[in-house]
Each structure stands twice: as C-alpha cells, then as structure tokens.
Amino acid sequence: METKDILYTRQDGIATIKLNRPHARNAFAGDMMAAFAALVDDARLDDEVRVVVITGQGAAFCAGADVKALATGNLQRSTPAQTRNNWRNTTHKIPRALQALDKPCIAAINGYAVGWGMDLASMCDIRFAADTAKVCMGYVRMGVAPGGGGCYFLPRIVGMARALELIWTGRWVDAQEMLEIGYVSKVVPLDELHAVTWQFAQELAKGPPVGIQYAKRLAYRSQDLDLNAALEMNELVKVINWTTEDSIEGPRAFAERRPPDFKGR
C-alpha cells in the first residue's frame, strides 16, 4: 500500500520507514495505519531486508494520532463493538506486525514522540534519540488510557513503576532522562542521529540473519517462559542454527582472520 505520508526505502539490507507528515508532526491520519503495517510486513517477507529503521521527517518522530477531530468536538462516537473492531482493524495492526518481525527494528527518535508516537518507538527493539528529542505518554491529557500497546511495551523497557508514573502523569521526558531510565540506548546530536543509527544498522545487516533473528525471538519468548521451557526452545533453535551455511562461515572466517560473509542460509 503506497502513500505519500510514509516513505519506504531499502539499501544495503536496511529498510527505512519514515513518517512523512512534517506539517502535522507526523501524526497518523487516514489510511496511514494500514499502510504502515503493510510496509512492516513487506520488510518481514523481503529476504533482502535484514534490519528495519523507523524514524520521522522534520522536527518530530510522531505526534501520535491526529486529534483535530477531538479538539473540535466533531469526532463521531461509535458503539463499543465498533470501537473495539476499529482498533483491531487499524491501530493494532502495527504492534502485531512489529511483533511478528523477527528482524532487528531500530527507532531513530529525531524529535517529539507523543502518545501513540511514543508507543510506536516502544514497539521497536532498540531506540536511539537525538539530544533534542522528547517523549510523552500524553494519553492522560486526552482523558484516556494508552491505545497503542503502551501498557504492554513500556513496562518491559523501563519497569512497571516507572512506566505507570509516565503513563499516569503524561509528563515530558527529555533525551538525557530517556538514557538514564534505559528507554533509549544512545543519545547523539540531532545532525549525527542518522549516521549513528545507519552505522549500527549496517553492523547488524552484515551479521548472520538466521542467528540474529532467532536470538530476537528467543529473547522475547523467554520473557513468558520458565527456565526449562526457554532452554528447550533454545535447544530446538540450535538444531536449526547448526544446519546453516552461516554456522560454517563464521568459524571459518575467524580461523582465516577475515570478516565473515554471511548469506542468511
């Protein structure tokens, strides 16, 4: 699904999904939710893509959903059943698509990330932030609970107590505090964010795709398993890993003192 409001590029094994509504601080509107989820699925199914980067155009990462209708009081209220189905069929397609993405996903937070925008950053595996970036779980200001899976993702990143404090207060968090509480892995000057993110993504893209993707799946699944179940899953993964050409290339390249050339098979 193509839309001018989202830019999709692929280069050197890295797919970049960039929100492109800078005039609205990259707030989601119209069919953008479905288009975004479709692009994530495209990246997941594309064997040439090894890493996904999500970012925003201009001064914002994502201002969440377009709330102009709320502000003007013209929002058409739906029945409870319609509301539930609307969320399932639009907004929640994105967290489900990103959860199904076995490939590394990096959020490059270039500016404001508010409400659903912060949820989107939280759905990614790793977050880098510009030193001017700020995030806010602003749902409370709209009188509602988080709607993009924030109550699921945020506690897993910063812990339950910290997550609830940010959700309940809806206060702004600057880049330095994001780093201190472990929400982001790195803070860099805005003009260096793209280069730093790209360098890290390239490093991952040159790694063994099968090993990296299974490591991601093991890490997430292990959070919901006891030790024995996690180890049993790990044993099955090792059976698969040791049948790949990459598992031969890695030790061979090490012995020959050269960079490995991983093929993903």
Residue with tokens 């377009």: 66
The pLDDT, as a whole number, for residue 85 is: 60
Give the integer Cα–Cα distance in Å for 241 and 210.
7
Task: Judge whether 168 lies within some domain.
Answer: yes
**Local structure of 31: helix, strand or coil:** coil
Its pTM stands at 0.89
Residue with tokens 């925003």: 56
Q: Where are the alpha helices (DSSP H) in the chain?
A: 32-45, 68-72, 80-89, 93-99, 116-123, 150-158, 160-169, 175-180, 190-205, 209-222, 227-241, 246-255
Task: Judge whether 175 lies within some domain.
Answer: yes
| pLDDT tier for residue 229 given thresholds of 50, 70 and 90 | confident
**Local structure of 122: helix, strand or coil:** helix
User: 120 and 77, same structural domain?
Assistant: yes
Domain that holds residue 239: 209-255
User: 220 and 98, same structural domain?
Assistant: no
Question: Over the range 41-67, which residues count as b (16 or more CB within 10 Å of their CB) and which as e?
Answer: bbbbeeeebbbbbbbbbbebbbbbbbb
Look over the chain and give the mean of its residue pLDDT values, rounded to a whole number. 87
User: 48 and 156, same structural domain?
Assistant: yes
Task: Judge whether 261 lies within some domain.
Answer: no
Biggest CA-to-CA distance, the chain: 68
Say if CB 27 and CB 66 are below 8 A apart.
yes
User: 226 and 199, same structural domain?
Assistant: no
What one-character DSSP code corresponds to residue 127? E
How far CA 77 is from CA of 83, 107, 148, 193, in Å, comes to 8, 33, 19, 40
Q: Which of 187, 205, 223 is the last residue of a domain?
A: 205
Is the pLDDT at 67 greater than 90? The verdict is no
Q: Is 239 left (phi over 0), alpha (psi -120 to 50) or beta?
A: alpha
User: 189 and 84, same structural domain?
Assistant: yes
State the CATH number of the domain containing residue 240. Answer: 1.10.12
Is the pLDDT at 63 greater than 80? The verdict is yes
Identify the residue with better confidence: 88 or 49: 49
User: 87 and 56, same structural domain?
Assistant: yes
User: 127 and 233, same structural domain?
Assistant: no
Is the pLDDT at 68 greater than 80? The verdict is no
Strand partners, 173: 135
pLDDT tens digits along 166-186: 999 999 999 999 999 999 999
User: 134 and 230, same structural domain?
Assistant: no
Task: Judge whether 260 lies within some domain.
Answer: no
The pLDDT, as a whole number, for residue 73 is: 46
User: 170 and 116, same structural domain?
Assistant: yes
Say if CB 256 and CB 239 are below 8 A apart.
no
Is the pLDDT at 261 greater than 90? The verdict is no
Residues 203-230: what's their mean pLDDT? 88
User: 198 and 215, same structural domain?
Assistant: no
The pLDDT, as a whole number, for residue 264 is: 65
Is the pLDDT at 233 greater than 50? The verdict is yes
- Residue 233 CB-density burial (10 A; 0-12 exposed, 13-18 middle, 19+ buried): middle
Tokens of 250: 């890695």
Task: Judge whether 200 lies within some domain.
Answer: yes
- Residue 249 CB-density burial (10 A; 0-12 exposed, 13-18 middle, 19+ buried): middle
| pLDDT tier for residue 83 given thresholds of 50, 70 and 90 | low
Task: Judge whether 151 lies within some domain.
Answer: yes
Q: Give how many domains the chain has, as a whole number.
A: 2
The pLDDT, as a whole number, for residue 181 is: 97
User: 150 and 77, same structural domain?
Assistant: yes
Task: Judge whether 262 lies within some domain.
Answer: no
User: 107 and 31, same structural domain?
Assistant: yes
Task: Judge whether 174 lies within some domain.
Answer: yes
Residues 196-203: what's their mean pLDDT? 96
Q: Which of 166, 190, 205 is the last residue of a domain?
A: 205
State the CATH number of the domain containing residue 81. Answer: 3.90.226.10
